[in-house]
Amino acid sequence: MKKYLATLHQKSPHHKRHFALLTASVITLSIFGIWSLVTFGTISGGIIAESENTLQASASTDLEISPFQSLRMNLASIIGALKNNFEELKTGLEAVDIEAEYKEMRDGALDIYGQ
Q: Which residues of the chain have pLDDT under 50?
A: 45-53, 55, 57, 59-60
Query: What sign has the CA pseudo-torsion 28, 23, 2, 8?
Result: negative
Predicted pLDDT at 31: 93
Q: Which residues contact 11 (CB under 8 A, 6 or more apart)?
A: 19
Instruction: Kindly state whether residue 50 falls inside one of the protein's structural domains.
Output: no
Q: Per the domain annotation, does 86 fall within a domain?
A: yes
Statement to judge: residues 32 and 70 lie in one domain? no
pLDDT at 60: 45
33 and 68 housed in the same domain: no
Asked, for residue 77, whether it belongs to a domain, the answer is yes
How many distinct structural domains can be found in the chain? 2
pLDDT at 101: 81
pLDDT at 47: 47
Is the Cβ–Cβ distance between 41 and 74 less than 8 Å?
Answer: yes
Alpha carbon 82 to chain centroid distance?
8
Domain encompassing residue 107: 63-115
Other CB atoms within a 10 A radius of the CB of residue 74 amount to: 19
In a domain, 27, yes or no: yes
